[in-house]
Amino acid sequence: MMLGSTETIKQAVMAGLGISAVSRHSVTLEMATQCLVELPVQHFPLLRSWYVVHHRSKQLSPVAQAFVDFILDHQDRVADLCNRFLKKHFVEEPPD
């Protein structure tokens, strides 16, 4: 089954129609209220690629262009900061 939104997926899982892989951030409330539970799965979390995009025919504002330039000039540093943020807020450390 293929569903279109995270909310639809959560509702389907809560209705007992199956399981799904979604962002932990998107199910914070459902996990806190124990409507949904997290299953331990090897090789999770999945890593994603992120892209900087904008409308082809629109000119970026100076601030937006500076942001893009910063990201492109400091890709490794930005990636490290993003990974540290995700690890701290969304990825639990395995128990010792």
- C-alpha 83/C-alpha 95 separation (Å) is 20
54-64 as b/e: b if 16+ CB within 10 A: eeeeeeeeeee
95 cis-preceded (ω within 30 degrees of 0): no
- What does the domain layout of the chain look like in residue ranges? 1-42, 47-96
What per-residue confidence (pLDDT) applies to 57? 94
DSSP state of 80: H
User: How big is the chain by its Cα radius of gyration, in Å?
Assistant: 18
What pLDDT score does 49 carry? Answer: 72
Tens-digit pLDDT string for the chain (96 aa): 666 788 999 999 999 999 998 888 889 899 999 999 998 888 777 766 778 888 999 999 999 999 999 999 998 888 888 878 777 766 555 445
pLDDT for residue 25 = 82
